[in-house]
Structure 1
Amino acid sequence: MNKFLIIGLGIFGRELAVSLIEKGAEVIAVDQKMELVEEIQDQVTYAIRLDAMDERALSSIGLEEIDVGVVCIGEDFESNLLAAVHLKNFGVKTVIARASNPTQEKILKAVGVDLVITPEMEAAERLSYRLMHQGLLDVTFIGGGTVAAKIKVPEVFVGKTPAELQLRSKFGVNLIAIHTPQLSKDGRQLPPIVNNNPDANTVFKEGDIMVLIGSHRDLQKISRLQNK
């Protein structure tokens, strides 16, 4: 079981900690504020109040057993940076830190942080992309101009297969999954039926959601078809 250390229990840190627990990870959650520690203590493996800038206090956690340390201190970049440096110095296998702007990102990378995340910037980029391309139901930026997105199957695709439509050669996208919505007998929305890695001869049905990977431009080609 992977063991994670989450430092900083603001909205992002708290949500990350709970999400990791739900996926079966072991999570130690740390913050200076006791009220934040108390709010999450029943939802994680351990919740501890301490100052992550204090090397001695931080070492008391048992960092040699931590697989991934994530520093999520958003309000005080100096504390964020110092906590990340301490984790690197203590030999934590993977150190991830939060940045609020490109300058902070450069500094964190310069001190050897393994991965820098920019939640606000990424959220703004996803939202702007969805606002410009409203046929996209969800967007994840993979890097290098590659995007994963959920798109409702255009009407012109209904009754056809990926092979017939030549999604890869004609549109430049890869079909990863198909989500088929389902309703209960009384009309309530149920979790969709998920077909991961669908066969090339799978027939698209009305209401299906495609999970596609491709470039911004190629996904736009699919999105525009929804208006036809």
Structure 2
Amino acid sequence: MRKNFVVIGLGRFGGSICKELTEQGMEVMAIDSNEARVNEFSIIASHAVVGDTTDDAVIKSLGLRNFDHVIVAIGDDIQASILTTLMLKENGVKKVTVKAQNDYHGKVLSKIGADVIVHPERDMGIRIAHKLASNSILDYLELSDEHSIVEIEANERIGGHSIIDLDIRAKYGVNIVAIKRRSSIIVSPQATEIIQYKDVLIVIGADNDINRLEKKMLS
């Protein structure tokens, strides 16, 4: 089903979301107070509008409550981000995702009703740090304060062994949810699946358990 989105703020973060949603065939209204940015996205988005979304009248006139999802990607103006989010929720927008500049900003957004709060700079920093600190972790996604999903490259130590032989779930409390093997992916692999050297294991679990697995079997 084709969904319709609004992206407010067309900087690097908002602009990339706008382009990707459009490429996926979604209807996207792009809004920014900067006319030059709006002109740039007028050939990308379904609709591009110059507007101040801290103004309740603007939100009403654009009919934003009728869209499936609004993404507030306003850059450094925290006040504008908060006011826009507040106006959107008061106008009955069903789902609002907001970019937070810091933890305090995120807490305020949560209190005024933001449905999803993202911290792109912080999250990217965490991912890069994990990749730099480990020879085996290829990618990292934080699911909560204590749980993550990671991509781990199989070394020679575990290559050639089946999942049941390694007994990873019982020993370390983590689950292998998929295996990337060259150009294919094995979802929910069987316990008898033989892990090959250089396979990419997609593992989910508590951070402490993933760290134990890495140190014991992959270092």
- The reply to whether TM is greater than 0.5 is yes
TM superposition shift of 1:72: 0.8
Q: Which of residues 179, 182, 186 in structure 2 aligns to 1:195? A: 186
TM superposition shift of 1:64: 3.0
What is aligned with 2:98?
Answer: 97
What is aligned with 1:187?
Answer: none
In structure 2, relative to structure 1, the CA distance for the partners of 1:74 and 1:134 (3 Å cut) is: farther
What is aligned with 1:15?
Answer: 16
What is aligned with 1:36?
Answer: 37
TM superposition shift of 1:109: 1.5
Q: Which of residues 198, 201, 204 in structure 1 aligns to 2:195? A: 204
What do the CA deviations read for 1:117-151 (whole angstroms, capped 9, x no partner)? 11112222222233333421100000141100001
Paired residues for 1:1-228 under 5 Å: 1-181=2-182, 192-224=183-215, 225-227=217-219
> What amino acid does structure 1 have at the position aligned with 2:189?
P
In 1, Cα distance between the equivalents of 2:195 and 2:42?
45
Over the matched positions of the two proteins, sequence identity in percent amounts to: 29
What do the CA deviations read for 1:36-66 (whole angstroms, capped 9, x no partner)? 2222233332222211122222222222321
In 2, Cα distance between the equivalents of 1:161 and 1:108?
46
In 2, Cα distance between the equivalents of 1:108 and 1:27?
23
TM-score calculated relative to the size of structure 1:
0.88
Q: Secondary structure at the match of 1:213?
A: strand
* Unaligned 5+ runs, structure 2: none
CA contact (8 A) 1:133 1:220 kept: no
Q: Which stretch shifts more, 38-47 or 49-58?
A: 38-47
In 1, Cα distance between the equivalents of 2:39 and 2:178?
40
> What amino acid does structure 2 have at the position aligned with 1:204?
I
Question: How many aligned residue pairs are there?
Answer: 217
In 1, Cα distance between the equivalents of 2:40 and 2:165?
53
TM-score calculated relative to the size of structure 2:
0.91
In 2, Cα distance between the equivalents of 1:70 and 1:49?
16
What do the CA deviations read for 1:73-124 (whole angstroms, capped 9, x no partner)? 1211111111111110110011121211121112111212222211112222
Q: Which stretch shifts more, 152-161 or 54-63?
A: 54-63
Q: Secondary structure at the match of 1:156?
A: coil
Q: Secondary structure at the match of 1:143?
A: coil
In 2, Cα distance between the equivalents of 1:193 and 1:132?
27
